[in-house]
Chain A
């Protein structure tokens, strides 16, 4: 590794600036010769700047609003920034590992300089710059409301707030690093984080409806409390100064400084455990041996009576286990299933005019909501070969026929996700009490699940892409891979197009002949899936080695 540290003359201790240079160098080398990465970076910067500018202008205009409103905006914006910086890196643990503390483990860098350098390097980056740009709107607001002195104070406050967020995020991630290194804990964390991530959307509604119904007074009382927490304290100091509350200003400055100091101390304590890296794991704990034979133990108790010990049965058994045992699969399964619960309910709300009147949707709207859920379920297969990385080589070496392979995987997903999705539809019907919609709903679910399985199966053999080999179940590749990931939208459109006739049929016949829709829907979805896997299997037979190469992570 070409550390720019070794360009330093012998005997000079590294300074924080060296870390910044190292990070810039690593970023530049990462871009070298990778046109798509440059494009992704430029797009990211443009997109980020657009949002940051919008935020800056919006926050700037808050300077013309009433003093109370301005105070509320400043506290909420500040708290959101700090909270975001603290939590998002935990959610996406290891997202910015351009400078991984573990890589410095063998270098004689004093801990104090290391933390200082890592801090400086963390500030150099698109997210930090965008945050700073966005929140600088608060300085403009303070300038408009009070004057130049308060504007400068606000600017200092914005920088301090960012510093607080960065230190908090670093301290937390390095504190959790040791914990997250154990596979069991990581698997558990994956579930919790998947639930957290998928509950963001419902949480948003709660906040938005609260904003609709709540008043400025309520917000102000929340803001007053927030302003005395480190989350928002640095952002409201200009209000104290502008309104002459000198003591409060001093207290908030002290609160901010103390929090940063304490977090920095904590970070510098925990960074050593993060530096130990993944070099050692405790020995695996052995549990008592096989009661059943190896073949029988491959099949879970539920599946054993259903599946024969054949190639097809073995793949279905292994796949259905993997949807739970593999962290990354479980994360996407939970997120998508949560989404397929949330989206239909959201549509339900929207049609009912935001009121929780429990009237439910008309038959067509209901069918549409359910069809989205079914599509999302089937789409889990869109990059199915990448989940196992190059373990797919075992199938290739055993020359598993493509059609059998693709169909077994589709059957396994149906066994895992099907019952949950059916339960969602039944739950929605039970909630609205319109049981006559149940057959239509289930019919549409089967249709669109089948359609999505078909298009996802074909996509998965035509455009597979490697997922990074990482401990973070949420890590996604940036750039080129996400370009391929966008093809999932094509698959959605294809599935929708394939299944559109059924949508029309349900609109015209759904009310009159619901059971007919159920029967036709299952037949339609089944046929489409059968045909799609036929095509995908034929492609896989020709492209097996290419699929393997595409899903092999670059090392």
Chain B
């Protein structure tokens, strides 16, 4: 178990930053810069479960306005990292900043700017889609008239109007992702953190989600999402980070990381997976 030593002091650990601002110190005195440029900043995030370290010293800078893909094999620590970044899982050490607000020191301010679609987390699924949106809006302290208007529009855009009085628990997997995304968008956050938003989603719903996210980024929003579908990430993202064994292995703008190869090649190389040589399984 890694001892919890509290957040690192701001001046004592200026860290190398990655992504588009690689090599620039964006910490300490230049905090104003962080606010302007970096939508999500992670500093030395570490989390251990029992005796196993799930995430170790993760630093990450997600530039504002980017479409950021967090890649990694199963068990790489993506969900753990994102949970710590959005305030759902307390890190053993390290800090996370959403648009300059410390998630763990000032959660209210940070979470106001943040929309989250967690993976494997239940919704309040004994409500209908409309009720769930209304509930989420009111929980966020929004004005009821505004909640009504936005909820109707979101149901319409996400093609969930037909579901009517069906409870979310009876939705299909794709519909659940859509209503979850609608809940994350309802309060118009400036940063969206989506954990596996395309998992178990049919192609039609996936195309819809992709369009909406594209529009959101074009409008100045920032999207961070985790996935292990290379094609999707290549098509969508402006920046990627590859995670494995609880550490960030590579990070940067998509083209820089690819360096002329396919993302899949880079991924397998970085993660260190084996490639079939043709001699195994000869009996198949």
Give the B-binding residues of A (Cβ under 8 A): 183, 283-290, 293-298, 309-311, 313-315, 318, 321-322, 325-326, 388-391, 393-400, 545-546, 548-549, 555
Contact = CB atoms under 8 A, between A and B. Distances in A.
Nearest to A290: B130
B148 A286 contact: no
A216 to B, nearest CB: 53
Given A314-B138, A318-B135, A394 B124 contact: yes
Contacts of A400: 139
Contacts of A310: 138, 141
A295 B134 contact: yes
A545 B90 contact: yes
B127 interface: yes
A287 B165 contact: yes
B120 interface: yes
A490 B90 CA distance: 29
Contacts of B135: 298, 314, 318
A391 B122 contact: yes
B278 to A, nearest CB: 25
B212 interface: no
**Which secondary structure dominates where chain A touches chain B?**
helix
B27 interface: no
A294 B165 contact: no
Interface string B166-202: 1101111000000000010000000000000000000
Nearest to B120: A555
Interface in B125-171: 125-128, 130-131, 133-141, 144, 147-148, 151-152, 155, 161-167, 169-171
Contacts of B112: 399
A92 B155 CA distance: 39
B88 A294 contact: no
Nearest to B110: A399
A287 B139 contact: no
A397 B131 contact: no
A398 B166 contact: no
A548 B166 contact: no
Nearest to B145: A295
A322 B139 contact: no
A173 B162 CA distance: 36
Nearest to B116: A397
B134 A390 contact: no
A391 B137 CA distance: 15
A322 B108 CA distance: 27
B239 interface: no
Given A284-B163, A284-B171, A287-B166, A294 B124 contact: no
B139 A297 contact: no
A290 B133 contact: no
A97 B172 CA distance: 26
Contacts of B167: 325
Given A297-B130, A388-B122, A397-B88, A183 B136 contact: no
Contacts, number: 129
Contacts of B137: 295
Nearest to B91: A545
Given A284-B171, A391-B121, A549 B89 contact: yes
Contact of B111 (A315, A388, A398): A398
B281 to A, nearest CB: 16
Interface string B207-227: 000000000000000000000
Interface string B229-270: 000000000000000000000000000000000000000000
B40 interface: no
The interface centre, meaning the residue of A285, A314, A394, A546 with most chain B CB atoms within 10 A of its CB, is: A394
B121 to A, nearest CB: 5
A555 B86 CA distance: 22
A416 to B, nearest CB: 14
The interface centre, meaning the residue of B88, B133, B147, B163 with most chain A CB atoms within 10 A of its CB, is: B88
Given A286-B164, A398-B140, A294 B126 contact: no
The interface centre, meaning the residue of A391, A399, A545 with most chain B CB atoms within 10 A of its CB, is: A399
A183 B134 contact: no
Given A297-B130, A309-B138, A390-B121, A396 B88 contact: yes
Nearest to B49: A549
Contacts of B163: 284, 286
A183 B168 CA distance: 12
B169 A314 contact: no
A389 B126 CA distance: 13
B133 A294 contact: yes
B78 to A, nearest CB: 16
B114 interface: yes
B163 to A, nearest CB: 6
Contacts of A313: 138
Contact of B165 (A288, A309, A315): A288
B12 to A, nearest CB: 25
A295 B138 contact: yes
B183 A321 contact: no
A394 B183 contact: yes
B9 to A, nearest CB: 22
Given A284-B166, A289-B161, A311-B141, 16 more contacts: A284-B163, A293-B151, A295-B144, A295-B148, A295-B151, A297-B131, A390-B118, A390-B122, A391-B122, A394-B123, A395-B139, A397-B88, A397-B114, A397-B116, A545-B90, A548-B89
B107 interface: yes
B148 A393 contact: no
